[in-house]
């Protein structure tokens, strides 16, 4: 298939491609705001619907649906085009948001969050794939600043809107607010984004591979997310879920070898640039979940701050990330991908070292500064990796590699939940034995060393990130974009 060439004379919201860039930003904004807006509203949701023991599934089911569907959407976007899959993802996300707003019980809200997650699974990778399609590597150096600004704004807008809606209007509006954003993004994509795809071959959908990846991936992530939480790691349930997941994924590998058009081609695992980018993305996922989970907990439970202040301590990371991402493009054009990502990984190591020096007597500003330094490092490490991966393949494979990169980050988050949870619980068990409450209810004298051990795990992941980025080629031959 081929695509119509788009005039690439300029970059920015006022250029010819500006409306498409705006639609991409609005679409990414849906996912970015949703990542933070619900957390501040959980108490209101539980008070209204009940189901306190079930509310963690509001986050787990969304992550599962998004993570598993990402590589599937990526492949379908290569086969059917970006536009129909993007419109489908936006429609599904908006539909899920409306249903969430009208949810009458916690199980219903969880089910509707599943629909939202399936929509987000299409939006994020295809949005980034479209950017790779219409902008060159040099142009993306500027475009990254626009995309990164969305995440920076969302890091503050999300928690603020969540608090305002919960306290003064209704928690249901945290979902209804997605409707106008989604509709505007969908209309702009429909009217302004033209692909003019010419089908030269009849594509075959890899149904067997899709089912095996969806079920096997879901079970793997489920086992990692809930192991040690809902069931113990050595329980029959945990062992059975992880064993079945491994078997299905092994069978998936054999099926993909024979598939005419595999949903996740195994050559993705054989190219140096993709291996480095995906390994880096996995470690970024590990670090992100470690910070997102334990930094606010440390701020509240050990430093004694309010939930709002704890949220802003974490927001320092999401502020550092877009700042670095917007600068990374200019740097990798000069010194190359490897050394730009290496600089980022060094910042991550430095920030992780600062976290290890945080004590119960430290200020929350010091904790926020450590997160900011890590965010700078992640921005320099993650964004160039995606650009390098996209640039190394042709149009018909760009969706697959983008989806694989984001899937790797999701798997990293699940692995991080499992590892850091096990580390923290092991420390608590060594102090209090097996009879202890949730981490949130622990005294600071026990909570502080438990989270400090998690910071050691984050530092180890930071060192591994340095190793992963060193395998990235410094220059990547840019393949045709359309």
Chain segment 437-458, per-residue pLDDT in tens: 555 666 777 788 888 888 999 9
Q: What is the CATH number of domain 265-482?
A: 1.20.1250.20
C-beta separation of 267 from 393 below 8 A: no
| Distance (Å, whole) CA 319 – CA 248 | 39
Label residue 40 by pLDDT band (50, 70, 90): low
Tell me: the pLDDT tens digits for 416-425? 877 887 787 7
Q: How many CA atoms lie within 13 A of 91 on its CB side?
A: 9
What is the distance of C-alpha 58 from the center of its chain?
A: 16
Q: What mean pLDDT comes out for the span 249-270?
A: 81
Q: Which segment of 4-8, 100-104, 251-255 scores lowest on mean pLDDT?
A: 4-8
Q: Which segment of 17-21, 27-31, 201-205, 263-267 scores lowest on mean pLDDT?
A: 201-205
The dihedral of CA 102, 107, 113, 115: what is its sign?
negative
Please tell me the predicted confidence (pLDDT) of residue 66.
84
Label residue 144 by pLDDT band (50, 70, 90): confident
**Domain residue spans in the chain?**
11-194, 204-260, 265-482
Please tell me the predicted confidence (pLDDT) of residue 2.
40
Name 58's Cβ contacts closer than 8 Å, sequence gap at least 6.
38, 42, 45, 109, 110, 113
The more confident residue out of 286 and 349 is: 349
| Distance (Å, whole) CA 350 – CA 373 | 7
| Distance (Å, whole) CA 119 – CA 141 | 28
Bridge partners of residue 231, in order along the sequence: 227
Q: Where are the alpha helices (H) located in 193-271, listed in sequence order?
A: 207-226, 236-258
Q: How many CA atoms lie within 13 A of 16 on its CB side?
A: 9
* pLDDT exceeds 50 at position 6: no
Q: What is the CATH number of domain 11-194?
A: 1.20.1250.20
Query: Within 10 A of 25 (CB to CB), how many other CB atoms are there?
Result: 19
> Do 11-194 and 265-482 show the same overall fold?
yes
Query: Within 10 A of 196 (CB to CB), how many other CB atoms are there?
Result: 11
Label residue 286 by pLDDT band (50, 70, 90): confident
Phi (first) and psi of residue 270, to 5 degrees: -115, 0
């Amino acid at each position: 298939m081929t695509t119509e060439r788009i005039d690439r004379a300029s970059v920015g919201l006022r250029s010819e491609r500006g409306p498409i860039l705006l639609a991409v930003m609005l679409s990414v904004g849906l996912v970015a705001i949703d990542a933070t807006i619900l957390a501040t509203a959980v108490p209101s949701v539980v008070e209204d619907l009940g189901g306190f023991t079930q509310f963690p599934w509001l986050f787990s089911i969304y992550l599962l649906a998004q993570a598993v569907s990402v590589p599937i959407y990526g492949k379908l976007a290569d086969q059917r085009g970006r536009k129909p899959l993007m419109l489908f993802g936006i429609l599904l996300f908006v539909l899920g948001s409306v249903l969430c707003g009208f949810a009458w019980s916690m199980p219903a809200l969880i089910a509707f969050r599943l629909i939202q997650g399936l929509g987000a699974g299409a939006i994020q990778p295809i949005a980034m794939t479209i950017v790779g399609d219409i902008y060159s590597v040099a142009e993306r150096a500027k475009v990254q600043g626009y995309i990164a600004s969305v995440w920076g704004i969302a890091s503050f807008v999300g928690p603020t809107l969540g608090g305002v809606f919960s306290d003064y209007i209704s928690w249901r509006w945290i979902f209804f607010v997605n409707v106008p954003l989604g509709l505007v993004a969908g209309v702009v994509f429909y009217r302004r984004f033209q692909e003019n795809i010419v089908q030269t071959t009849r594509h075959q959908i890899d149904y067997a591979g899709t089912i095996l990846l969806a079920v096997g991936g879901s079970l793997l992530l489920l086992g990692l997310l809930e192991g040690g939480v809902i069931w113990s790691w050595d329980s029959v349930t945990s062992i059975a879920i992880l064993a079945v997941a491994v078997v299905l994924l092994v069978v998936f590998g054999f099926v993909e070898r024979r598939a005419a058009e595999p949903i996740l081609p195994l050559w993705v695992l054989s190219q140096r640039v993709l291996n480095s980018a995906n390994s880096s993305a996995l470690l970024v996922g590990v670090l992100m979940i470690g910070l997102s989970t334990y930094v606010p907990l440390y701020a509240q439970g050990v430093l004694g701050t309010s939930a709002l202040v704890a949220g802003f301590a974490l927001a320092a990371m999401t502020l550092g990330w877009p700042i670095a991402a917007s600068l990374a493009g200019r740097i990798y054009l000069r010194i190359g991908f490897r050394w730009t990502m290496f600089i980022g990984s060094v910042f991550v190591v430095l920030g992780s070292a600062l976290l290890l020096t945080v004590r119960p007597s430290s200020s929350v500003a010091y904790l926020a500064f450590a997160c900011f330094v890590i965010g700078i490092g992640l921005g320099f490490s993650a964004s160039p990796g995606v650009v390098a991966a996209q640039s190394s393949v042709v149009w018909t494979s760009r969706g697959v590699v983008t989806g694989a990169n984001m899937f790797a980050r999701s798997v990293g988050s699940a692995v991080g939940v499992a590892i850091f949870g096990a580390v923290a619980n092991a420390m608590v068990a060594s102090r209090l034995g097996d009879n202890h409450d949730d981490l949130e209810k622990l005294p600071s004298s026990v909570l502080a060393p438990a989270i400090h051990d998690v910071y050691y795990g984050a530092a180890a992941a930071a060192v591994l990130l340095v190793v992963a980025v060193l395998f990235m080629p410094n220059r990547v031959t840019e393949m045709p974009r359309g």
